[in-house]
Amino acid sequence: MSKQTPRKQNGRKPTGAKQADARQTDGQSATTAKRANAGKNPGAGSGAGSGTVTEGRAGKAATADSTRIPSPAAAPAPAPAPAPEQDVPPVGEFSRRRLLGTVGAAGAAGLVVGGAGGALGVSAARDDAPEALTSIGSARVPFRPTGGGHQAGITTPLQAKGHLVAFDLAPGTDRKAAAALLRRWSRTAGELTAGRAPDADTGVALDAGPSSLTVTFGFGHSFFGRTGLTKRRPVALDPLPDFSADALDAGRSNGDLWIQIGADDALVAFHALRALQKDAAGRARLRWQMNGFNRTPGATARPMTARNLMGQIDGTNNPKPSDKDFDERIFVGRDADQAWMRGGSYAVVRRIRMLLDDWEKHSRHEQERVIGRRKDNGAPLTGGSETTPMRLDANGPDGLPVIPANAHARIAAPESNQGAAMLRRPFSYHDGFREDGAPDAGLLFVCWQADPLRAFTQVQRKLDRGDALSPFLRHEASGLFAVPPAAEPDGYVGQALLEG
């Protein structure tokens, strides 16, 4: 807080001596503020008409303090000589880290107008040492994990903001040029995820920490034909089959190259998107882009499974890294036909619009029967908590299954699909409203698996035949991408493919 307003905001009643001191200090503060305003904005003794945000707050502070000026009967102490003016940067030049550090120390109440607002403005503008980043800002996910391994963004906890982007190689971009692009992208991603600015930085995320930024790269089916690498294209990358509920926009589907960006800060995520897009100039052209979001970390009292825009807890039955067969289900094994994909994974991407107006016409009871789980806590309709296994053989007093035969949770369960499972890691999206006034909103579905044919395709075929949720969904875009292991310490993503 400013030295001009040394108020203590506690619940104790001050002694008589302290009250006199406070009155004396307040009178001095008001006098100093009036002098400052008179010098900067002549004729503004009332506090109105200030020329800048900072001055406006100071004027309000002086007005508030003037209501506590001692009465003429009190003997005021001589006013001290005015302190020398300090060079204070304009409001637009505040360091974001310094401002946030001040707010974090003062609490949200420090942002109210009046005396506290003026004090905060002065304190934030001083050239003192920056405050430490919050845990959210300082969280870092290595782009190149120690000892190698999988790319970040697969088992990483869901981030608050995400971008999914696909590129097509520009005409004339051959295998060598594609390798140069992946090398440049990997270098940029490594800098950004470490919280460092790349070359020719735009300054979009200046002062922010990495904020759990992840950048994940993948290759589409068409990439291999364009680079003369068709013999190295995995069988698992064969195009997905058509499904009856599909209404796919080809312009927003597939692509030669795919990038998934995630971060817990929207500016950090956009910064990465912009940097990678600039890196692609002359080598690849943007095919499509989708922007998504999740809950901000810390928004709930305890860590919870994410909710989608239908209000349902989404991801309850996800495989867990602690499962003994997790790696076998999610990551490509050592016996894969293409060595460069060993330790990698396959990402299925679907843009699924939710018919929210139709969905919200149904009661909570009806919605829960469509899903097969309670809306409030995600527990199966057969009872227990969110993590309680579903009892698919349980019948009610009427002799019918407690979890309806066409409930989404029943049909998608591994028990109903010969053990098939995938790691779902989606983002929600909202792209405004359609011409009929309905929200253009839903799910950017991203799932990870070792073999799409035995995971996503198998489950989606079953859902396609009678899922109670399907009438409320529209699948509007789709893609399948091969995501190789993480880059080596001095290498780049896909190096074993492009140089092997």
Q: Which two tokens stand for residue 286?
A: 């943007």
pLDDT higher than threshold 80 for residue 412: yes
Least confident of 98-102, 144-148, 248-252, 342-346: 98-102
pLDDT higher than threshold 70 for residue 6: no
pTM recorded for the entire structure: 0.75
pLDDT band at 148 (very low <50, low <70, confident <90, very high): confident
CB 261 within 8 A of CB 215: yes
pLDDT band at 200 (very low <50, low <70, confident <90, very high): confident
Over residues 124-134, the pLDDT tens digits come to 344 555 667 77
Least confident of 126-130, 155-159, 349-353, 396-400: 126-130
CB 407 within 8 A of CB 462: no
Least confident of 76-85, 228-237, 372-381, 394-403: 76-85
pLDDT higher than threshold 90 for residue 381: yes
Predicted confidence at residue 500, as pLDDT, reads 82
Mean pLDDT confidence for 272-282: 97
Better-predicted residue by pLDDT, 388 or 2: 388
Predicted confidence at residue 408, as pLDDT, reads 97
Predicted confidence at residue 127, as pLDDT, reads 54
pLDDT higher than threshold 70 for residue 100: no
Q: Which of 314, 398, 440, 490 is catalytic?
A: 314
* Residue 258 identity: W
User: How many Cα atoms within 13 Å fall on the side-chain side of residue 433?
Assistant: 5
Predicted confidence at residue 129, as pLDDT, reads 58
CB 258 within 8 A of CB 218: yes
Please name the helix (run of DSSP H) or strand (run of DSSP E) that holds residue 290, with its range, or none: strand 284-293
Distance, CA of 475 to CA of 432 (rounded, Å): 17
Mean pLDDT score across all residues of the chain: 81
Predicted confidence at residue 128, as pLDDT, reads 57
pLDDT higher than threshold 80 for residue 95: no
Least confident of 12-21, 56-65, 81-90, 315-324: 56-65
pLDDT higher than threshold 80 for residue 353: yes
Predicted confidence at residue 308, as pLDDT, reads 97
Distance, CA of 218 to CA of 228 (rounded, Å): 17
Q: Which two tokens stand for residue 131?
A: 């405050």
Over residues 460-480, the pLDDT tens digits come to 999 999 899 999 999 999 999
Mean pLDDT confidence for 167-183: 97
pLDDT band at 37 (very low <50, low <70, confident <90, very high): very low
Distance, CA of 53 to CA of 423 (rounded, Å): 49
Active site residue 314: yes
CB 457 within 8 A of CB 175: no
Predicted confidence at residue 28, as pLDDT, reads 46
CB 5 within 8 A of CB 118: yes
Residue 198: phi and psi, rounded to 5, are: -75, 180
CB 257 within 8 A of CB 220: yes
Q: SS in 3 state form for 198-266? A: CCCCCCCCCCCCCCCCEEEEEECHHHHHHCCCHHHCCHHHCCCCCCCCECCCHHHCCCCEEEEEEECCH
